[in-house]
Structure 1
């Protein structure tokens, strides 16, 4: 919840503070610190009760002389306070440096700011920006942190340009505009501007330089900003301050008098603590308001409830119930059972009829009339004749449907599966054979609202079995195909092997349905989306805000490598997945990976080194050597894993259709950056902030080796898994080996990364799935 406090700050304070007028300008701290502390709670940052007495300079005041009124704190204008994000947005100033055409400086000034020591400038939400064509932006830090350590740092960036043609709107990378992040735990700064040539060569189109610290959503570079001697007609920019409460959630809960969270709220550990443990408070589900004062119940019945039109919504504390009217039963939910009529005539306890009971919607009626009975008797006779004819018709139709199901069951290998069960190669707890009706019921007749995903092989539905368990049901795009005996045996063989796979990071197959034209596969349901969605689809509703942490990314990479190592060397029959990509890596509620979609997998005998087969895979992840030779080996999975590892490092998609041809392939772009020592430029910002230089270099080297165009120079997945596990457990003390001296390759070597042969394009994930026929399967 964001509070715009310019015009309402006094109203809130008056409601919550003692009535004495002198209390209105007291410092605003958590309730309960001392009598004079305000109970309009911005949490007293990084502090508990003791800070209320040690600091008394946190005052919010309103300037009513302006229209509309403006809120101020320590001389800063306050634009916005966000309780939800634990942030305060204030106004800071722009530094300026101007020159005449002969190099004479005029109209220049610096910008500086300091804050109360418990309100740091946000390192995650602000950026330092310098504008100009002969500009050196200097950012100097002099402040104390919370443990009284004096911090001094100096940083900045340089921006140069000679003509308007050398710049591009929206691009701030050193030509006309440069930007930089700031250190964590910053309470004060000073900004100044320098010049190399006193603007003598650029004053014709750029008379002034500007520099400022501003919120990351405020500024987008425009060439027009360089032509003026003022920054967009103002000297002010919005800058973000952080807050949180010092201590951990667990420790604070032990001391109820110091605990900052109010009623109906919960504590959440924060990363705003500048290397100190801090936390913030949030309203519990079903509540809203200020969690530091105490949250109030949300009346869902007047906003977003899920009751159907038949039921009545009843608000409860922290939630709501859906109540069916008299004469109806069910849960009353739109996406549940709803409300259905109760047939009171079926239970004598529910009706008081002495004669015939007639059911009605929501009620019933009683009838004793003989005339009605005669009419009913005649009607029943007519109905019997009609029903008899209809029953005969539907009986014949049902028999045909049964025969068709039996045909599909046999065609899809049902009898072969039963034979394997009898021979004890499969047990009933390994694989269940579902009926078509069971899966139709589980998916509400394959309702579009239950679609969990789509891909090149078909659609995946979220289903609920009769026992309440959630499953994922894969339905093929094919609706009427003739499957030959060899294909049936291959399908059954793969199902048998997958049933015997025992790895917690592989999506477990639960069963199949063979009564449809093509088999339906039933898997365990994984609830947290795909790795692709977490890396690239930041607007997905079920995903949390922000990107995956570096620690989580390294865990996902290590566990996925372990899965491929298991498939290649530990499964009953070695398996080559053949379609490893971020959309086929699901994440559970703890962000552990689950490898899925074995529809393109290939079973390899232990004495086979390679197999000639139809080329299958996804452009951007496909092994160039496999694409060129049609020879499938386990090293093809190694290459695809290398692309996924680069995705985790860079946050970029495997194929970027909006880039130039040279940068379209992520693998080719990454190898080029490594060769030119530009690794940090291509890594995602959060990865650089959270990972050590040595560790990131080691992981990048692993990706480089996996992406070798010569399959023999790639490591096997067992080596990759061991190296990643070692890096994860021991940091960077262990150095990664070169595996036969694998080196980066030239641009010519990467020509097959964007090979031809594209047949169809998967618009769901902007991926191209290619299938190139050869003399093998």
Structure 2
């Protein structure tokens, strides 16, 4: 006996401490997924707005301009109110019939024939302002017209029209049952002296007519074209059994919560919630229990009110049952509050433990993901990271939809990049690293340190990082137009990659590398310049990305001695042989990138002979044999030949096997900017390097092979082995 009561008390207490949930849940009146309002008017089922939201075409409501509901009858009557709880009534605006009134038309009444609606006999009255004239309601059946209602008032000049409509200047009469259509006419033939006098008649909601007594006639005559009218409705072609099976409403336990009947005035079925319930009886679970104890609709004066499903029960103050119940309530409350206290304490303790465990995990991940190393690098290098934000894992999960696969922008050896949107609406790219060893971790921290020092419009901006997740995350600005490689190697009809665009992109990349090498606070070597690491923004401006293998140097350093990192086809041969990376190694990779822009070919490609080739080697051979214009991309051939020759010459110089003979990125940047500014290639051929290359390299071997693969066809002739070190780049045989 105590356990059920205890459970009831706990549930009651939960309802008390969470009143917002109970108060915020409004009674459902429309079908799920359907609009329940149009402007200030509630639209309950079986009425509805939109397909599938109403029971049939007669109950369709059209919401005009989101504020004006209109009943979808032939007459399209504007809806004022719909009642499904107490009465099956819909109030609409109905036209007034004027005769001999200046500026007013002789309007006909609405035709409700074949619809489930009738003019309510109980709610409406036929009213006529036409003293001395018989005002009639006429019905037409079988081509015969008959009077179904009429009234006539006495003319009295001493009585104002605003007085009660009691037969002086105004008359009223009831209407017949089941009225769906009528015509209004005024019998002026009997009294010719009133033929030209303004008179009008209308069917009106009696309650509205009484509530607006003071100004009704003035408003109706001078301002109004319609007045409120009450229509009764019912559901056609339904039986009580079918309705009960359709709704399957048993929310009141063993008691049905609604009842249906066949009213006298309409020929269909009408339903209503039973006593003790409220809501919409035409939808599943629409009738809910009324708490008479809270609402005050009970007769338990001086006693205790206990709510029941569909009713309530009173306990008098002196009732022995009430005392027993009171003791049980006290006992139940004591035990219930004790259990509740224990549950709350356990829940709070669980939350605290879970939070501390989460904090420990975040601290563990922070250390494992190089947080201490990052702090050490920042302090030792005195890097300014004020604008670099540390994001939380919660922020980034929300931004990327929990790292949804649909948000992936790209994947590489160092991680996966996701598209995300921050809480402030900014679109970002989130790089999720693949940490498998200490070397990868150092690369990640290195990318944060390097990017924190860079502030250049042609370098992707680092917005922050997150170290409290299982794998570290970098957050960049989002560059929406993809990689340069896609535009070079995949033809895009919507955006032709013209010579002017290629020249501008090359100039922007050269300027950014010049900044990294010479203008940054510490010289920075990118070490992986390639077309897939160049992104294009919304204006197709180039931005250098992926600084995972980059390194910054002291001002007095000239090179780095490291294990070989990079991408075949872009690697500097000197770096490959000596393990010493200099700024000229980035120049060599940029030269390969220039050749890509000129030829539209990939850095490693296969010719028709099925022999693996290096693009740099192929380019140098073509320059030797004076076949440059045979290998250029079609879009490049559309540009000025003088400019193309100069850019090809720059690329040739960048690909010189002797790093000391390559130009610096500053020189390359200045020359490319000059070509852009003048548009005349001849003005910027400052070095006769083209002739130099032809005279020096024409003698080189094009049939020498290296350990990784063959460089040229053997039928190109012989050369001395002393020229081996002068090959432009290693070539590869594809397997």
Normalised TM-score (structure 1): 0.46
Structure label with greater radius of gyration: 2
